[in-house]
Structure 1
Amino acid sequence: MGESRLPRHSSRALSYRNYRLFLSGAIVSNSGVWVQTVALAYVIERLTDSGTWVGLAAMMQMLPAVGSGMVGGALADRFPRRIMLMITNSTQAFIALGFSAMWALGVDRPLAYVALGMVQGCVNGIQLPAWQAFVSELVPRGALLNAVTLNSAQFNASRAVGPAVGGLVLAVGGPAWAFLVNSLSYAPAVLALTLIRVPRLMPAGQDRPNIFKDAAAAVRYVSNHPGIRRATLIAGVIAFFGQPIIHLVVIFADDVFQVGETQYGILAAAGGVGAILNTPLVANWGSRVPRSRLIGLGWPVYGLALLGFALSPYYWLGVVALAVVGASHIMTAATLNTVIQMQVEEALRAKVLALYLMTLMAGLPLGAQLQGALADLIGPRVSVGGAGVLLAATALWWVITGRTKVLNLD
């Protein structure tokens, strides 16, 4: 998404070389992650024919990241984040290669894939706080809001590209090739990180990381800052009720719409497409519209669009509904992340972001497990539709009672 396609003030961060390198490597590697996400859900569903197993695989891939997230936050506030990211990206590439080898060798035990997913979750938990905090080293403070928005946009752009590519690769070559594509996608990210040169923002010579002490400090800091506290809570609610659809799309593709691998990839990519289409608007509004208003619009629409998807009688109507879900997601995710990035102190940035990410990584898999199990019991439409109703109702209550206004404080 080049500068010619966006208003100048909505692409300000792209004028900085380090940020352009970071963004270009990120979109390739994250696209690969989404290729693997649809492939792993496909493998689990094919081996078990169970929504409960699909939810379990999602949960066990993300819950370990909750435990390792504070470790990553503590490390990222003490050691060079660029070096950390080079190590974790390289490790992720080898894990993806392991998935590919397992399928190629005929491993058909779902627990084997869940176990390797847990290892990947641990590494991901260490990586994510450094990834989010590293953005503040790439641009000046005046461009940080725009950089955070574009970082969310690249994640959602990869969410559009990756599942579509994943569906195509699954249809043509099968899961082993999809996992291999993800493994190779980390090379551009590592190369970009190698080329980036940034000053060290964290003071040198700090004491050794103490995970419990750092976690307690992050909790105290968040508790004493209402904007950060409520942004974290909102993110957790959205993660629990809204984001599990990422993993449950495969159930709708197989059992509800009864389509093949390519159509599954399109369905999974729809949310990313919606996010891309809404990115210029969010980036343009970000510095001019109160953040409480952005959340007050994006959050309720998120729930209503999820309900619309659950009730969609036709495949292509479901695609459109998921695009609206994605458009709402970019508005809420970018805004909540910006609230935290703009309010947190540099010395605690990665630790506070780790706490925020832990909330997301706990909410999503727990929600996916619950909704997946309910899909087996009462059907996927009722399960996901009920989540949409609860998400929209919670959002409207927060907006009507004025609880989102504190997000405007810096």
Structure 2
Amino acid sequence: MSPGVVAPTPSENRHTPALTSPPRGTFSSLRIRNYRLFFTGQVVSNTGTWMQRIAQDWLVLSLTGSAAAVGITTALQFLPMLLFGLYGGVLVDRLPKRPLLLFTQSAMGTTGLVLGVLTLTGHVQVWHVYATAFALGLVTVVDNPARQAFVAEMVGPDQLANAVSLNSANFQSARLVGPAVAGLLIGAVGSGYAFLFNGLSFLAPIAALLLMRHAELHRVERAPRGKGQLRAGLRYVAGRPELLWPIVLVGFIGTFGFNFAIWLTAFTDTVFHSGASTYGLLNSLLAAGSLAGALIAARRATTRLRLLITAAFLFGFLEIVAAMTPSFWLFALMLVPIGVFGLTVNVTANSSIQMATDPAMRGRVMALYMMVFTGGTPLGAPLIGWITDTYGARIGFATGGVFSALAAVVIGLILASLGGFRVRDYPTALGLRKGMRSRVAGCSSRSTDCSRLIEGGAPGSPVRPL
């Protein structure tokens, strides 16, 4: 048993997880009541979140007339994750996650309600938006790793990959609906009601958390309060290549490859000489591809690092190809597979990292993952924006693709070299159980049983080697 995990419930004792295959199916994790409640609450909340994102940018633009002010708002919302993300992970590992999420979801709803009231009463100023964006970012520092880690407590290891994929599908579905609803609301009654809806939408996940059955959660022992926990988390990741290199890869792609707000606006305006409706269409196609990628990922019973590297390379390669595409409709259609592979990278990295992490460390590891993935935006976006402004939309888009594809190739080569471990090195490098280590140590590297053990990874484990 992994350190920090409480003895399994009677239902878990019926089979040894290492010897059974998880139930397959796109929506298999929704059979679990607690996760079904969580998923339903997130459907409502994510829709509200996307509505607020659109309304927030539109409000800042209408107050200032400055695109730079919109960029400042975005940077303020992501900056806390970059600055304090790791500390958020330490808190998540120390505190019970369901009460913590009740607090963070309530706080996030409050920011929406405050901004909505200020807007509807006519008192809103741009600094109010800056302040609420920064406050929302501060809460996200804890909320993001807490939600990521809490998924494992709801569904257990067998359904973790499926649940992570469905979370992404949930978010991408809201990305299709939320902006459209926000556009209608803004046009009809103004931005204030979009903020109010977002604030009230958090009642759904709060209710879901309150209705969960505590006894059905996969309980994890919390990390005790003590010194050096942040450094311990960093050392933990640094000593495990199956965690370190996927996080590094996601960092490169999140920093340089996911700047679609910059590229799609630039293509719409300077390449295709069109307006807001075209921009909305391009975003919808990208979101549709992302949704398809999430649903495809949900059907996979296992997660391979080879899939992560391949998807990352294809993501970057397709960005380069799309950047050079002369036809509008061909460019638009290219966004669908780009969305598929981009989401595959995110889901595969997320699920493989969670399944390879000791539960007592999961909050810190996922905080580092989220810090690297989203915290790179304030660093990469200005550089990519400058390249796009200076050399054009095509060069800017291609640059992001080149960074992503090269990162995939280099890290793929590193992981491939690590995949050629000697038998005694393999279990340590892939973070397998101590029982597996003794089994590998007791076999000859040329024996059939040993070869199967090395090629297949841990029996029944959803995390697979290259």
With structure 2 as the length reference, what TM-score do the two structures score? 0.76
Q: Which amino acid aligns with 1:294?
A: L
Cα contact 1:169–1:177 (8 A) shared by 2: yes
After TM superposition, the structure 1 stretch with the greater mean CA deviation from structure 2, 46-55 or 154-163, is 46-55
Equivalent residue, structure 1, for 2:110: 94
Aligned to 2:34: 18
1:316-327 mapped onto 2 (5 Å cutoff): 316-327=329-340
Alignment partners' CA distance in 2, 1:397 and 1:101? 50
Q: CA shift at 1:106, angstroms?
A: 5.0
**CA spacing shift, 1:181–1:115, aligned 2, 3 Å:** same
Q: Indicate which of 294, 298, 302 corresponds to 1:283.
A: 298
What is the distance in 1 between the residues matched to 2:194 and 2:276?
12
**Number of the residue aligned with 2:254:** 239
Match of 2:153 in 1: 137
For 1:156 and 1:341, locate their aligned partners in 2 and report how far apart those are by CA, in whole Å.
21
Measure the CA separation in 1 of the matches of 2:345 and 2:261.
16
Whichever of the two has the greater Rg, that structure is 2
Q: Which stretch of the first structure deviates more once superposed, 391-400 or 148-157?
A: 391-400
Matched residues in 2 for 1:335 and 1:91: separation? 30
Match of 2:229 among 214, 219, 222: 214
How large is the Cα RMSD of the aligned pairs? 3.0
Are the structure 2 counterparts of residues 21 and 56 from structure 1 closer, same or farther at C-alpha, using a change threshold of 3 Å? same
Deviation of 1:189 after TM superposition, in Å, equals: 1.2
What is the distance in 2 between the residues matched to 1:251 and 1:281? 30
Q: Distance in 2 between matches of 1:92 and 1:190?
A: 11
Of residues 355, 363, 383, the one that matches 1:342 is 355
Determine if the alignment matches structure 1 residue 75 to structure 2 residue 91: yes
State the shift of 1:76 in Å.
Answer: 1.9
Structure 1 equivalent of residue 238 of structure 2: 223
Cα shift at 1:346: 0.9
What amino acid is the match of 2:159? A
1:46 CA displacement: 4.7
Give the fraction of aligned pairs with identical amino acids, expressed as a percent: 33
How far residue 146 of structure 1 moved from its aligned partner, in angstroms, is 1.6
In the alignment, what sits opposite 1:391? 404
Say whether residues 1:273 and 2:288 are aligned partners.
yes
* Aligned length in residues: 399
Q: Is the 8 A contact 2:384 2:396 kept in 1?
A: yes
Distance 2:187 2:338 in 1: 26
Match among 178, 185, 188 for residue 172 of structure 1:
188
Residue identity opposite 1:226 in structure 2: P
User: Which residue pairs with 1:202 in the alignment?
Assistant: 220
Task: Find the counterpart in structure 1 of residue 454 from structure 2.
Answer: none
* Unpaired segments ≥5 residues, structure 2: 1-22, 420-429, 431-462
Contact 1:398 1:404 (8 Å CA) reproduced: no
Task: Give the direction of change, closer, same or farther, for the CA distance of 1:116–1:336 in structure 2 (3 Å limit).
Answer: same
Considering fraction of residues, name the structure with more helix.
Answer: 1
Structure 1: runs of 5 or more not aligned: 1-6
* Matched position secondary structure for 2:258: coil
Give 1:13 deviation, angstroms.
0.9
